[in-house]
Structure formats: C-alpha cells, structure tokens
Amino acid sequence: MTTTTASATTAPATSKGAGTPVLTARGLVKTFGRVVGLDGVDLDLYAGEVLAIIGDNGAGKSTLIKCLTGAEIPDAGTIELDGKEVHFRRPEDAKEQGIEAVYQNLAVSPALDVASNLFLGRELRKPGVLGTLFRQLDIKKMRARTREELNRLGITTLQDVTVPIESLSGGQRQAVAVARAAAFGSKVVVLDEPTAALGVRESNQVLDLVRRLRDQGTPVILISHNMPQVFEVADRIHIQRLGRCAAIVTPDSHSRTDAVAIMTGAAEA
C-alpha cells in the first residue's frame, strides 16, 4: 500500500491526461483463429484517473484488458508500465507488478472460503520453519487481513470470511473479487463489468470504491455498459469498436448520446 501513497504524492492528478502515463499500450493485436479480437489498439492510463472502456458486445473490451493483465498474450504490440516495456505471459506476472483485475467471469473459486479466495495464488505462510520447510499456511493471519481489507474498502456485506464463496449472493461474490483486486492492485486496478450482476445499492458501493481508489492515486480501468455510471465516475472514456479504439472522449466533451453514437458507428468521432 506504500506505493499507492507514493504515486499519489509524486503525481498529483490535477490535469487529467497530462504527465507520463502509468500504463501504455501501442498497436495491440489479438486474433483467435480467424476472429480478430483486437486490431491494433492504443491505450494510455494516467495516474489518478478512472478510464472507462465502453463498446458493443464483441468490440474487444475484455480482450484488451486481458492483454494488459497477462490473461492473454497479444500477437503484436507493446505494453509499457512506468515507461518500461513489459511482457506479461501469465496473470501472476502482471500481479507481481501491482496490476490487478476483476475479469468478467469473476474468477473466484466457489468451494473455497472468502479469505482463501482473497489470497488465492499468494497465500501467506507461517513464520519460521513451519512456513518455509513445512509450507504451512497462516490461516489466522489471512482471515484477519481479509477482514481488515474489507473494512478498509468499506465492504460491509461480508461478515464471515470463513464461508465458501458459493454460499454468497452474486453481489457478495462480486465484492470479494473487487476486494481482491483493490487490496493487491498497488499500480493499476482493472474491473471488467463489475456492476453487471448487481443491484443499485451494491453498484453504488463498487463505484464508491472506484472513486476511493482513484483518490488514493491508483488509476482504474472500468469496463461498463451502464452509461449513467460511466459518465458519473470516469475521467476519460475509451470507445472500443470492432477491435479498434474509435475515440477517446470525456464526460465534458461529449454527451451520452454522442458516445453511444460513436460506439454503434452511427457517428464519426
């Protein structure tokens, strides 16, 4: 969490879209057999901003953020983090650099409990030989840290961190996935349609969380179909269309109808 405060002080997000970007992508191409998912996409993400990505189904939004977070390997194009080129081959490569994502399919393990899910893939081990030689998990500490993180993020819907995920409601599962990303995403947090399955109250909690992350200096990429939400929370909006970036707009420069028109191809950017 120290990196968060550091970047907040060194790069005050006064003018959005200025300064050097945290994350840059140039010319990303990703094909699946004959289907073109991404057809040369550029993206810049600046410190302390919420960048929304909107677009029709199949426009390549999920593929784009999967390439940025190591879940897919792009066929061509470059990705830079803090000006240094990175080659993510697995999600854990991106996680090591502080990039966390909540994917559209959620990616939680239903039979494992809340704390196990939060720490899945980066479990805490007990101190001393118990941890190093016998590889013993520090289950108490993971549960305590999970409670702490949930409190810190203001997630109140999860009282018991020892229950399996599958016994939770859709909104609670979403909260676990978002909490995991927020807890470990020290550089960048990416959320792919995090409010799609949620009610109004739960959606607002997620949006509050997005704002809080931004205010702490962590830039957020938010994919959403919900135009009111996007225009409420985003600093800039990347409009994805047919595997390309059709335009980048801001809530000030364009109206919702303008954005939808560009998204559907009814208007040029």
Ligand X SMILES: Nc1ncnc2c1ncn2[C@@H]1O[C@H](COP(=O)(O)OP(=O)(O)O)[C@@H](O)[C@H]1O
Q: Which positions touch another protein (CB under 8 A)?
A: 71, 90-92, 95, 101, 103, 105-112, 116-117, 120-123, 125, 135-137, 139, 160, 162-164, 166-167, 180
Q: First CA to last CA across the chain, in angstroms?
A: 39
Instruction: Pick the stretch among 56-64, 74-82, 183-191, 261-269 that binds ligand X (CB under 6 A).
Output: 56-64
Shortest distance, position 239 Cβ to ligand X, whole Å: 11
d(CA 186, CA 98): 5
Site string for ligand X, 14-53 (x = CB under 6 A): ------------------x--x-x----------------
- In the numeric block, the tokens 């101190």 are attached to 127
Instruction: Give 190: exposed, middle or buried? Use CB within 10 Å, 0-12, 13-18, 19+.
Output: buried
| 57: contact with ligand X by CB under 6 A | yes
C-alpha–C-alpha distance, residues 27 and 74, integer Å: 10
| CA–CA separation, 232 and 222 (whole Å) | 12
The only residue of 44, 47, 51, 62 in contact with Mg ion, by rule CB under 5 A: 62
Applying CB under 5 A, the span of 71-79, 82-90, 96-104, 169-177 interacting with Mg ion comes to 96-104
Minimal distance, residue 198 CB to Mg ion, in Å: 16
Q: Which of residues 231-250 bind Mg ion (CB under 5 A)?
A: none
What backbone phi and psi angles, to 5 degrees, belong to 166? -65, -15
List the one residue from 25, 50, 51, 59 that touches ligand X (CB under 6 A). Answer: 59
Rounded CA separation 155/202 (Å): 10
- 192 closest CA partner among 61, 96, 51: 61
195 interacts with Mg ion by CB under 5 A: no
Binding status of residue 180 toward ligand X by CB under 6 A: no
Give SS3 for 26: strand
153 makes contact, choosing from Mg ion, ligand X, another protein, none, with CB < 5 to 8 Å by partner type, with none
Encoding tokens for residue 103? Answer: 């994917």
Which span sits near ligand X by CB under 6 A: 54-62, 175-183, 210-218, 256-264?
54-62
Half-sphere exposure of 26 (CA within 13 A, CB side): 8
Q: Which residues bind ligand X (CB under 6 A)?
A: 32, 35, 37, 55, 57-63
Q: Which residues bind Mg ion (CB under 5 A)?
A: 62, 104
